């Protein structure tokens, strides 16, 4: 459905949109307003949606279970096992079960809210972040510093146009503080002139030598530069339009993290589900980063 929405004039204008759901498996309902907000680059905030830990899992609210070299304990769809964890085999089995349960809950939630996504969305990874934000390797370099406003794009893992849809849950006892930045198109306009032309031959070589998992498309080229340029620009980090929002304990939120300018400023104990979604599944494709960048560059990027 090639529709276009009225763009958000200000990040203060409903950057965070409340969504009154209380169950991870809500009854199927028409949610076009929520989907329009989501695909227009807003954050859907579920203040009453708690992911409950079982009694034996409460002990994992402890940063010592995390491998000091990683910022997350995680599972991936393309690899078996649990990663980033410093625990016994029995504890790893329990943590694996916790992450699998959150994955199932997140997929059920997305399927109920956005039935048009069901046949095409794919769970790619589930993470648990037990350490305080800004510690460990997240603080080692500006590229890995998630306290800087950014859209998600990854050097070794090009999406080739797949959207990055994420579900977050605060399972800790303190708020998780985010900054949410200006709309994607405004950010892209700010940095576009600084981005060099894509180099298809280099992209092929990076994939041939195993540096990237897939060939980096022109779209991935622009997205990666937008990620890096925004994070590197301290004046932009300080002066661009943005709001700060506290996601309280026992709440959840959903966004396209490749579109929402976001920065995690503080908080501890968060679960995160990552889902890939093709462009064809979108109800409002003209609002996607791909469509925005193709308009701004006047070229096809895939």
| pTM of this structure | 0.92
Q: Is residue 5 part of a domain?
A: no
Task: State residue 262's pLDDT score.
Answer: 98
Instruction: Phi first, then psi: give them for residue 246, nearest 5 degrees.
Output: -105, 115
Q: Is residue 4 part of a domain?
A: no
Decide if 156 contacts 213 (C-beta within 8 A): yes
- Over its C-alpha atoms, the chain yields an Rg (Å, rounded) of 19
137-176-21 Cα angle (round to 5): 130
Provide CB contacts within 8 A for 8, sequence distance 6+: 14, 15, 40, 41, 42, 183
Q: Is residue 41 part of a domain?
A: yes
Q: Is residue 9 part of a domain?
A: no
Least confident stretch, 20-34, 89-103, 240-254: 20-34
Strand duo 176-181 + 16-18: pairing? unpaired
Q: Is residue 124 part of a domain?
A: yes
Partners of 274 in the β-ladder: 125, 166
Domain containing residue 60: CATH number: 2.60.120
Q: Does the pLDDT at position 181 exceed 90?
A: yes
Report the C-alpha gap between 169 and 62 in whole angstroms: 16
Report the C-alpha gap between 5 and 86 in whole angstroms: 46
Place of tokens 């146009």: 161
Q: How many domains does the chain have?
A: 1
38: closest CA among 145, 184, 161? 184
Helix axes 184-191, 289-297, angle to 10 degrees: 40
Give the pLDDT confidence of 233-281 residue by residue, as tens digits.
Answer: 999 999 999 999 999 999 999 999 999 999 999 999 999 999 999 999 9
Give the pLDDT confidence of 113-139 residue by residue, as tens digits.
Answer: 999 999 999 999 999 999 998 655 445
Decide if 108 contacts 26 (C-beta within 8 A): no
Within 12-88, where are the H helices?
32-39
Q: Is residue 204 part of a domain?
A: yes
Q: Is residue 237 part of a domain?
A: yes
Question: Which residue range forms the structural domain that includes residue 41?
Answer: 16-297
Report the C-alpha gap between 72 and 243 in whole angstroms: 26
240: closest CA among 150, 177, 152, 134? 150
Q: Is residue 244 part of a domain?
A: yes
Task: State residue 4's pLDDT score.
Answer: 35
Within the chain, where are the H helices?
32-39, 89-113, 184-191, 200-208, 218-232, 234-239, 289-297
Give the pLDDT confidence of 137-180 residue by residue, as tens digits.
Answer: 445 588 889 999 999 999 999 999 999 999 999 999 999 999 99
């Amino acid at each position: 459905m090639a529709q276009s929405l009225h763009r958000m004039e200000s990040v203060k204008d409903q950057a965070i949109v409340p969504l009154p759901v209380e169950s991870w498996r809500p009854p199927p309902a028409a949610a076009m307003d929520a989907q329009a907000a989501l695909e227009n680059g807003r954050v859907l905030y579920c203040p009453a949606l708690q992911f409950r830990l079982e009694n034996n899992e409460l002990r994992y609210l402890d940063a010592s279970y995390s491998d000091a070299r990683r910022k997350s304990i995680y599972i991936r769809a393309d690899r078996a096992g649990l990663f980033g964890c410093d625990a016994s085999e029995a504890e790893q089995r329990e943590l694996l079960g916790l992450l699998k349960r959150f994955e199932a809950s997140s997929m059920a939630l997305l399927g109920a809210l956005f039935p048009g996504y069901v046949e095409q969305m794919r769970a790619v990874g589930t993470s648990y972040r037990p350490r305080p934000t800004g510690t460990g390797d997240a603080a080692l370099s500006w590229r890995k510093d998630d306290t800087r406003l950014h859209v998600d794009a990854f050097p070794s893992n090009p999406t080739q146009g797949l959207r990055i849809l994420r579900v977050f849950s605060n399972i800790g006892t303190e708020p998780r503080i985010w900054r949410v930045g200006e709309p994607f198109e405004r950010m892209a306009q700010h940095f576009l002139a600084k981005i060099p032309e894509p180099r298809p031959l280099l992209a092929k070589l990076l994939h041939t030598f195993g540096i990237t998992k897939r060939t980096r498309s022109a779209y991935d080229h622009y997205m990666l530069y937008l990620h890096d340029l925004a994070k590197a620009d301290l004046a932009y980090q300080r002066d661009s339009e943005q709001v700060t929002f506290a996601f309280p304990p026992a709440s959840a939120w959903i966004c396209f993290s490749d579109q929402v300018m976001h920065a995690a400023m503080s908080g501890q104990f968060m679960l995160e589900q990552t889902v890939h979604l093709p462009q064809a599944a979108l109800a409002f494709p003209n609002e996607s980063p791909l469509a925005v960048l193709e308009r701004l560059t006047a070229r096809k990027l895939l």
